[in-house]
Structure 1
Amino acid sequence: MPLITLKAQIHADPQTEAILKDAMFCATKVYNGLLWHLRKEYEETGKVNISQKNLNRILKELPRAKGYYSMSVQLTRDEVREAYKSFFALKKKGLAQYKAPGFRRKSYLSPLKYVQSGFKVEGDKVTLSLGTRREDGVRQVSFCISHRPDVEYERVRELSIAYDKVSGRIEARLVVEVKARENNGTGKAAVDLGETILMACTFDDGTVMLYSGRLIKAVRRYWQKVRAKLKQNSRRWKQIAHREKKQVEHLLHMATSHFIAECVQRGVKEIAIGDLNGIRGSIDYGDRLNQRLHAWPYRKLINMLKYKGTLVGILVRDDIDEKSTSITCHACGKVMPSNRRHRGLYVCSCGWKAQADVNSALNIYERVYQVSPVKGSSGRVARPAVVSFLLEWHGVVEPKRKHKFLRASA
């Protein structure tokens, strides 16, 4: 069965919430304690031993390890191991600017993780085990949760309790098995993600749908200006950040829900998306544009497409190499950065003319499925039919006017 992650709000009395926060604080102390002993070991021997045996030995010396569930303590230990493994891998590549894993802030509340055991979910009631060695004698806590009602799951595989810095609340995140709706479709689609054009989506028949991201940009920019006048991390600053996050998520939900519904109607079985991992670290366009790109919620958008696709039996792939897809002519294959003109217009000397994100989406489709959705038997490329959508607060609507080079040919 496919797995999705559900975010749930926790409803607990003040005493239960205080116990959960204390257990999360213990997880931070254990994480920092492991790092401290490893650093001390390195100073004495010149080596870092991150074997489970050595870390288990250190855990016995940490009194805070008794403050939460033993299996969760082992997961904290594994976090330290993975952090050091990543550091060693980067160091091996010669990337000296990366430093060894650092300590977490003393006030930081680390996630409590449960895998397979130590928790029970019955309807909206959750019971967590805290072990048998806490100083206050509390062995377990119970509380209620609430999450989106339209997801029916068979079983909870994993559960974690995390602190949301923006809202200032603790939340539950459940990895659940869902029974996906049967999908007998055979169609395919490709998506090019962007900032101004949120999604350029192409289907088998060459139809392309454009989802505007201008409203999301406007929301981000407005709240950034408001926060700039406030003291960072103040109560008001956090309230503004939380409001911004909710508004952006609302707009992303509208766009992704509409697109997935369109895919179901068209019989799409698989969606291909370009791999954008590391894009923020690989580009530098100046302070102003870098700020916009760092606020671009592409990862959240991909995650929404994945879990919504999973619910309707659509596979969403985001491992597609999209290098040069935006500067390659879809008609003749010529790679020419100068072909990307102002306002996203792509014009090639061969006669191909299209919106630049449309051109990129068509190239991603052809790269993944080894066929163009707009090429006929004659070998010539037909102009794709484009349906453009704008995000509005009340829903997704089709604009009355379209740009002249986006009009579908008869």
Structure 2
Amino acid sequence: MPLITLKAQIYADPQIEAVLKDAMFCATKVYNGLLWHLRKEYKETGRVNISRKNLNRILKELPRAKGYYSMSVQLTRDEVREAYKSFFALKKKGLTQHEAPGFRRKNCLSPLKYVQSGFRVDGDRVTLSLGTGREDGVKQVSFRISHRPGIEYERVRELSIAYDKVSGQIEARLVVEVKARENKGTGKAAVDLGETILMACVFDDGTIMFYSGRLVKAVRRYWQKVRASLKQNSRRWKETAHREKKQVEHLLHVTTSHFIAECVRRGVKEIVVGNLNGIRESVDYGDRLNQRLHVWPYRKVVNMLKYKGALVEILVRDDVDEKSTSITCHACGKVMASNRRHRGLYACSCGWKAQADVNGALNIYERAYQVSPVKGSSGRVARPAAVSFLLGWHGVAEPKRGNKAPRASV
């Protein structure tokens, strides 16, 4: 069964919320305590022992380890091990000048993680175990949650309680098993992710669809201008950041849901997305464009496509290298950056002309499946269908009709 992560809002009285925050603070103290002892060990011996046996020995010396569930304490221990493993890997490649992983801030609230035990979910009611060693004697807490409707799951595999710095609220995240809807399709599709064109999609019959990213850019620009006049990390600053995050996520959900529904209608069984890992570190377009690139939510788009595709038995892959796909001619294979002309037009001396994102999507499709849905064409590809959405509840370009629901125009 496919696994998806549900984000849920927690409804708890102030006493229970205070207990949860204290347990999360204990997780921070345990994380930092383990790091402190490992640093001390390195100064004394010149070595760092991150074996579970050694870390368990250190845990016995940390009084805060009794402030939350024992299995969750072990997961905090494993976080420290993974932090050191990542640090060693970076150090070996010469990519860091630090001497050890960094401490978490003293006022940080670390997530409480539960895997298969220590929690119970009955409908909208969640009960968490906090162990038997807390000083206040609280052994478990119970509270109500709510998540987006329409999701039916078989079993909750994992649960975590996390603090959202932007909203200032505690949230629950549930990893659940869902029953996928049967899909007998055999088709394929490729997606090229971008900024102005959020998704350029090519189907195996040569059909092309665009999903505009202009509204996402407009929302981000608007709230960035608002925050420019506010004190950083003030209450108002955080509120505007939260609104921006929610509005962008809403647009991404609407876009990806529409695309997956279109794939189901067309009998698509597999989607391939170009792999963009490391793009932020590998390019430098100047301060202004770099800032836009760093807020580009491509990873959110990929994750949404993956879990929404899993619900309808569509495999979403992002293992195809996207390097040079936007500057490579799909017809003759010539690689030339100057072929990308004004307004995203790609034009090659061989006669091939296409929108640049379409050209990239076609190249991704061919790399993934060793065949092109439009191979043999030396002229323009078919005119793509453009899909855009209106967001009627933010401060940018309010629709005149006052329609609050997002509308798609194809």
Superposition TM-score, scaled by structure 1 size:
0.95
CA-based RMSD: 1.2
Q: Hey, what does 2:116 align to over in structure 1? A: 116
Unaligned runs of 5+ in 2: 392-404
Contact 2:39/2:100 (8 A) holds in 1: no
| 1:215 corresponds to 2:215 | yes
Show CA shifts across 1:360-410 (max 9, x none). Answer: 00000000011001125xx767723411112212434336xxxxxxxxxxx
Output the CA distance in 1 between the equivalents of 2:99 and 2:267: 49
| 1:177 corresponds to 2:177 | yes
Match of 1:398 among 400, 403, 409: 409
Contact 2:353/2:380 (8 A) holds in 1: no
Match of 1:387 among 385, 388, 400: 385
Amino acid in the other structure paired with 1:130: L
| 1:364 corresponds to 2:364 | yes
Secondary structure in structure 1 of the residue aligned to 2:281: coil
Superposed displacement of residue 243, structure 1? 0.6
Output the CA distance in 1 between the equivalents of 2:34 and 2:266: 53
Output the CA distance in 1 between the equivalents of 2:406 and 2:99: 46
Show CA shifts across 1:199-235 (max 9, x none). Answer: 0000001111001101110110110111111111110
Output the CA distance in 2 between the equivalents of 1:353 and 1:99: 52
Q: Hey, what does 2:396 align to over in structure 1? A: none
Structure 1 residues 264 and 326: CA distance shift in structure 2, 3 A: same
Structure 1 residues 98 and 342: CA distance shift in structure 2, 3 A: farther
Structure 1 residues 291 and 380: CA distance shift in structure 2, 3 A: closer
**1:53-72 mapped onto 2 (5 Å cutoff):** 53-72=53-72
Percent identity of the aligned residues? 83
Output the CA distance in 2 between the equivalents of 1:165 and 1:368: 39
Q: When the two structures are aligned, how many residues end up with a matched partner?
A: 397
Output the CA distance in 2 between the equivalents of 1:289 and 1:382: 30
Q: Hey, what does 2:289 align to over in structure 1? A: 289
Secondary structure in structure 2 of the residue aligned to 1:332: coil
Contact 1:206/1:385 (8 A) holds in 2: no
Output the CA distance in 2 between the equivalents of 1:70 and 1:397: 49
Output the CA distance in 2 between the equivalents of 1:2 and 1:115: 17
Secondary structure in structure 2 of the residue aligned to 1:292: helix
Output the CA distance in 2 between the equivalents of 1:42 and 1:263: 54
Structure 1 residues 207 and 296: CA distance shift in structure 2, 3 A: same
Output the CA distance in 2 between the equivalents of 1:383 and 1:99: 54
Secondary structure in structure 2 of the residue aligned to 1:281: helix
Superposition TM-score, scaled by structure 2 size:
0.95
Secondary structure in structure 2 of the residue aligned to 1:375: coil
Output the CA distance in 2 between the equivalents of 1:396 and 1:344: 26
Contact 2:353/2:379 (8 A) holds in 1: no
Structure 1 residues 348 and 160: CA distance shift in structure 2, 3 A: same
Q: Hey, what does 1:204 align to over in structure 2? A: 204
Q: Hey, what does 1:39 align to over in structure 2? A: 39
Secondary structure in structure 2 of the residue aligned to 1:126: strand
**1:41-120 mapped onto 2 (5 Å cutoff):** 41-97=41-97, 99-120=99-120
Amino acid in the other structure paired with 1:395: P
Amino acid in the other structure paired with 2:67: G
